[in-house]
Structure 1
Amino acid sequence: MSIDPSSIPSFGVPQPQPSGQDGPPPVVVPDQDLVTQLLDQMELKHAVDEEGDLLAPWEGFRVYYMFRGEQKELFAVRAFYDRPHPIEQKAELLEALDEWNRETLWPKVYTHVHDDGVVRVIGESQMIVGMGVNINYFVAMTANWTQAAVGFDQWLVERLGLATDVDEDEDADGTATDGSAEGDAEDNGTEGNSTEDGPAES
């Protein structure tokens, strides 16, 4: 089953601004303020969790924008997908994730098994930024990684036929996830940066 690039939504990636001078775009060392500005330009709702990590929430998953390392030299876009998968279905899930990893560049996706046996999926993309990076390249990659994180969730629902299951779960609960930044940051337990519920140290 091939991945259709057109299934990944567009957030209206900001266009590079003229620098007012000839030559290549400036090289910058990205930080959280720069990513916040980018998310604002993309009109994506975002918040900062208790650990100080920037996140953008969607219904059913969160995308974190994290800087790691002694000098914050590693930038990672990491998605935590809330949908639980029974441990009995892990083999089928891994087969689907292998297919995604073979046929796409990002995000890299893998499973995490909780203590109660529930399996959840994590996706991540990373780049080294400590020595500086072309600003246009950084903007484009961050936007593309965000789009791909959303696209993967849609792809997995279709690949495993989960759309009906999701609808039934929401009907049973009587409510659907509201996708608010504050609720996701508080309800999903990011304290300690554990891969079980939030970002992990790289």
Structure 2
Amino acid sequence: METTTEHEPAHLPTPEIGPLTRERIEEFLTANEWTFGVDPDGDVGGQWDDHYFYFFRMGEAREVLQVRGQWKHALPLGREQELYRVLNDLNRDLVWPKLYVRTEDDTLVVYSEVSTDLEHGASDDQLGQLLACGLFTALKAFEGLDHLMGIVADA
């Protein structure tokens, strides 16, 4: 006796995909009860563990999400080679974030970046995951940078 079984794939609800907007970024931060502000340019930012973070929308249509952090420490000029070596090692070993140094006011300042093109939109869960990834991978990298650069945590 021959039997056939038709198998219908389960129809899972499709999460609503929406464009990258400042309001959606703010909704995620608010839902997590995180303190943030909006600067005069309309960029969302705040502080986590005394590090500054911004959640930028970039690109022609502001479709690229960039989570940019600034390490809370600044190093004196003269430690460039040591810092470049450490950042190169971290960039080689970590998937996220990208880390780089800028010279500002005669000091060395380290930034982190995680950028994602959301030209086709993202669900709320996807956007939340990207925001959290940019934030928490940077915090972990900054913690490692503290250790590697010999910076003792404030007591």
Normalising by the residue count of structure 1, what TM-score does the alignment of the two structures yield? 0.66
Corresponding residue for residue 124 of structure 2: 135
Corresponding letter in the other structure for 1:38: F
The residue correspondences of 1:48-197 to structure 2 (distance < 5 A) are 48-114=38-104, 116-163=105-152
Structure 2 residues not aligned, in runs of 5+: 1-10
For 2:116 and 2:92, the matched residues in 1 are separated by 20
Q: Which has the higher helix share?
A: 1
Note the C-alpha offset of 1:38: 0.7
Q: Is the 8 A contact 1:56 1:63 kept in 2?
A: yes
Identity across matched positions, percent? 22
Q: Which has the higher strand share?
A: 2
Corresponding residue for residue 8 of structure 2: none
Corresponding letter in the other structure for 2:111: I
Corresponding letter in the other structure for 1:124: E
Q: Is the 8 A contact 2:71 2:109 kept in 1?
A: yes
For 2:80 and 2:50, the matched residues in 1 are separated by 19
Note the C-alpha offset of 1:59: 4.4
Aligned length: 145
Note the C-alpha offset of 1:79: 0.7
**Which structure would you say has the larger RCO, counting Cα contacts within 8 Å and 6 or more residues apart?**
1
For 2:31 and 2:124, the matched residues in 1 are separated by 15
- Provide the secondary structure at the position in 2 that maps to 1:133: coil
Further displaced range: 105-114 or 140-149: 140-149
Normalising by the residue count of structure 2, what TM-score does the alignment of the two structures yield? 0.84
Q: Is the 8 A contact 1:65 1:75 kept in 2?
A: yes
